C-alpha cells in the first residue's frame, strides 16, 4: 500500500530534504515529485513521478502539454508546470552571460541544437547583427509545419530595419533530425538574400540544426 508523502518522516519528504540538503540530494523521481505537488488515488507524487520517468527525462521532454495532461494522474496544471520547467532549462542552456557578444557560428549553433533537440515543430528565427557582427537582437519569426514560403520576407526586413542591423543570420531546426538543407530551404535563403540586398543589409548565414549537428549555408556559397 502506498504511503502519503504527508505521512512520511519530515526528513524523508522531498521538499523538506531539498530545503535542508539542496536539490542535488534528491533523486530524479523526487525532483519531479516536487514539481507535481501531488499524486493521485493509490499513488503518491513520488510513485507517479517514477511512472512518468520510466523512459527518462529525455522522453518526457519530447511531450507537449496535451500529451502529458492525458497521462494517468496528470492534468493540465501538472503538465504545464513540467513543460515550463523544460523550457526554462533549454533557455538556461543557451544563456551564457560571459560569452562575447559577437556572433560565432559554432558557438551559436551548438546552443541552438541544445534548444531545438526536443522541438516537434519547425522554428525559424533570426539574429540581427551590427557591422562588427555583434548581436543586437534575436527574434522568433515562425513556428509550424507548413511551408516557409508563407513567411513574408518583409517581416524579417522590418525587424532588421527596427534593429538598425547591418547583417542578418537566419536559423531553423529540422524536427526530423537531419540538418541537410531542403530545396525549399535553399529557395527561401536566396529569396531572403535578394530582399535584404534591396535595403543594403547582408544575409550573413542561414543555419539549419538537426539532432546532433548543423549546416551553415554560408559555407555553401551564400555570401
199 and 102 Cβ atoms separated by less than 8 Å: no
- For residue 56, the model assigns a pLDDT of 86
| Confidence at residue 100, expressed as pLDDT on a 0 to 100 scale | 45
Taking 50 as the threshold, does the pLDDT of residue 196 lie above it? yes
The residue among 65 and 194 whose pLDDT is bigger is 194
| Whether residue 98 has pLDDT greater than 60 | no
Task: Name the one residue in this structure whose C-alpha cell is 529569396.
Answer: 191
30-40 average pLDDT score: 89
The most confident of 84-88, 117-121, 204-208, by mean pLDDT: 204-208
- Could you tell me what percentage of the chain is helix, strand and coil, using 3-state DSSP and rounding each to the nearest 5? 50, 20, 35
Asked if 135 contacts 103 with a C-beta cutoff of 8 angstroms, the reply is yes
| pTM score of the predicted model | 0.60
Domains of the chain are 5-93 (1.10.150), 102-220 (3.40.140.10)
Q: Which helix (H) or strand (E) holds 100?
A: none
What φ, ψ does residue 148 adopt, rounded to 5°? -65, -15
Amino acid at each position: 500500500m502506498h504511503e502519503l508523502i504527508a505521512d512520511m518522516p519530515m526528513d524523508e519528504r522531498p521538499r523538506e530534504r531539498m530545503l535542508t540538503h539542496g536539490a542535488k540530494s534528491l533523486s530524479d523521481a523526487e525532483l519531479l515529485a516536487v514539481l507535481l505537488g501531488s499524486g493521485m488515488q493509490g499513488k503518491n507524487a513520488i510513485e507517479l513521478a517514477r511512472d512518468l520517468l520510466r523512459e527518462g527525462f529525455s522522453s518526457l521532454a519530447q511531450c507537449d502539454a496535451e500529451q502529458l495532461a492525458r497521462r494517468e494522474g496528470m492534468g493540465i496544471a501538472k503538465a504545464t508546470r513540467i513543460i515550463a520547467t523544460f523550457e526554462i532549462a533549454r533557455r538556461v542552456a543557451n544563456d551564457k552571460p560571459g560569452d562575447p557578444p559577437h556572433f560565432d557560428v559554432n558557438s551559436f549553433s551548438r546552443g541552438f541544437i541544445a534548444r531545438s533537440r526536443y522541438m516537434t515543430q519547425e522554428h525559424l528565427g533570426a539574429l540581427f547583427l551590427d557591422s562588427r557582427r555583434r548581436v543586437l537582437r534575436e527574434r522568433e519569426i515562425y513556428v509550424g509545419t507548413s511551408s516557409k514560403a508563407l513567411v513574408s520576407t518583409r517581416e524579417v526586413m522590418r525587424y532588421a530595419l527596427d534593429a538598425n542591423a547591418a547583417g542578418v543570420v537566419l536559423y531553423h531546426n529540422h524536427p526530423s533530425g537531419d540538418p541537410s538543407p531542403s530545396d525549399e530551404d535553399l529557395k527561401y535563403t536566396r529569396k531572403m538574400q535578394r530582399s535584404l540586398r534591396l535595403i543594403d543589409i547582408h544575409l550573413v548565414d542561414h543555419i539549419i540544426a538537426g539532432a546532433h549537428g548543423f549546416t551553415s549555408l554560408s559555407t555553401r556559397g551564400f555570401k
